[in-house]
Chains A and B, each alone.
Chain A
Amino acid sequence: MGKIVSIHSFRGGTGKSNSTANLAAHVALAGKRVGVVDTDIQSPGIHVLFGLDESSMGKTLNDFLNGKCEIKDVAFNIGENVGSDEGRAQLAGKDIWLFPSSIRGSDISQILRKGYDVNLLNTGLQTLMKEFDLDYLFIDTHPGLNEETLLSIAISDVLIIILRPDNQDFQGTAVTVHIARSLDVPNLLLMVNKAVPGTDLDDLTKQIEAAFKTSPIGILPLNFELASNGSKDLFSLSNPEHDWSKGIRKIAEVILSIP
């Protein structure tokens, strides 16, 4: 039975797309059948990490939500289109598909203007899990708590909330944690990203435990190399020795170990 893993953060720029792509890649490397959906329709980003640009992008989630195609038509087979970038190249032959959102300005403004049927999104997600026989479906969500994000939280077997160690994220994360518990999400995982050098990890862990009644599954460091690589490759695959990559691998193990 396949699992839906949603990755959420209160604010944008927290590292959601980078974390989602790298986690999905490790799970695919472990031999699982993996889908990655970009439901951040307003500010899509994960396609870049898988080497897609406007010219190489075929059908998108927007087309599906507009009733112009079926969800399976949106799939981009990553394992067969890995390209030459060092990290991504390791995914050659793996069972991993991306379901991208459109990056065309007109598509984005149209969907923002007209909205879409959240139930259709739900049906689409359920269908693609079945048709692609997925073990894991990773959902890169839109920050904040709009309807489609609430939906992806509600249907998640695993919800990973990414936060930066600051007050604004703490406050926002508290809201999501409460919502997720009220929606009975079976596995709620907190991950800290962009921890500045010198962070007192024990102290931060204690503060998170006190505030959210759960331990963080990882505290990943601020990673200057990742920031300068411009989200163009899968960092944890091209730089496996970096602490950030080790953190990602550990979280991937946690996801794989959930029964």
Chain B
Amino acid sequence: MDQETISQLKNIDWFDELSDDMLAGLAQKILKRTLKKDEVLFQKGDEGNSLFIINSGWVKVIARDTQGSDIVLNQVGAGEIIGEMALLDNEPRSAGVVALEKTEVLELKRVDFMEILKQQPDLALSVIRNFSSRMRYNTSYIEKITEMSKRVAKGDYSFIGETQASQKGIKQVSDQDKIGQLLAEFFAMVQGVKSREDDLKNQVEKLTLQIDESQLKEELDEITGTDFYVKLKDQAKKLREQRLDNK
């Protein structure tokens, strides 16, 4: 039994609820691999059939943009998991992973993971619990974002102040937490929108309305110079008085 591997697994929040026995069973199935700098762990589109735990070093998660050059989506370091969805679904890899430096990874293959699950229903329960708590956590953020989007649409930015504290918390965990990252981005966006709106308001507030006096005089002369106007001015008072008499 590899005690080192067990303690490494214990540090991963996915497995932190497992008993030592379960972890021992898991550790037996773990393969250790060492990646050289720039070595590709997997590419986008590869069959996804195992999960990796970064034990030491750093990897980058990359996607190819439309011009064909790589863009880095994320950097992942020791203690983090990549490709975990591959344990449950059979989808191809959604992004590629390349080592940024010499990196040690622990690999757990789906077939082995499934085998352990069959033998240890408790492990299955624990994984399910882990998944559902992540889901709930994510859902709560989605709800938050939905709620805040509605407020932004109405021009209500008051929540920026209210949520400042928790936003900081989110930033700290955001490396592992894409939803947290989304929320942080969302905040950055809302703040950007608000400051642009404030600028605009300032411009509106400073709007100075002006009357061009010579143009005004020209326009007045044009109207008051007509026969119609001269007659009208003459009659205006009479017209009003006439009506009063009629009543």
Contact = CB atoms under 8 A, between A and B. Distances in A.
Contacts of A145: 223
Contact of A150 (B223, B242, B243): B223
Interface residues of A, number: 37
Interface string B12-55: 00000000000000000000000000000000000000000000
B205 A198 contact: yes
Interface of A: 1-2, 4, 118, 122, 126, 129-130, 145, 147, 150-151, 154-155, 157, 165-167, 170-171, 174-175, 178-179, 182-184, 186, 196-200, 203-204, 207, 211
Nearest to B212: A171
Contact of A175 (B155, B216, B228, B243): B216
B220 A179 contact: yes
Nearest to B205: A200
A184 B243 contact: no
B233 A183 contact: yes
Contacts of A150: 223, 228-229, 232
B2 interface: no
Interface SS of B by simple majority = helix
B224 interface: yes
Interface of B: 155, 200-201, 204-205, 207-212, 215-216, 219-220, 223-224, 228-229, 232-233, 235-237, 239-240, 242-244, 246-247
Contacts of A151: 232
Given A129-B243, A178-B216, A196-B204, A167 B210 contact: yes
Contact of B236 (A2, A155, A166, A167): A155
B45 to A, nearest CB: 47
A177 B242 CA distance: 24
Nearest to A137: B243
A207 B243 contact: no
A84 to B, nearest CB: 29
Given A166-B207, A199-B204, 7 more contacts: A155-B239, A179-B223, A179-B224, A183-B233, A197-B201, A199-B205, A211-B209
B80 to A, nearest CB: 45
A122 B239 contact: yes
Given A178-B216, A179-B220, A182-B224, A170 B211 contact: yes
A171 B223 CA distance: 15
A154 B209 contact: no
Contacts of B242: 126
Nearest to A207: B209
3 closest residue pairs by CB, A with B: A198-B201, A154-B236, A200-B205
A195 B243 CA distance: 36
A75 B184 CA distance: 62
Contacts of B204: 196, 198-200
Contacts of A198: 200-201, 204-205
A200 B235 CA distance: 41
Given A154-B232, A197-B201, A175 B220 contact: yes
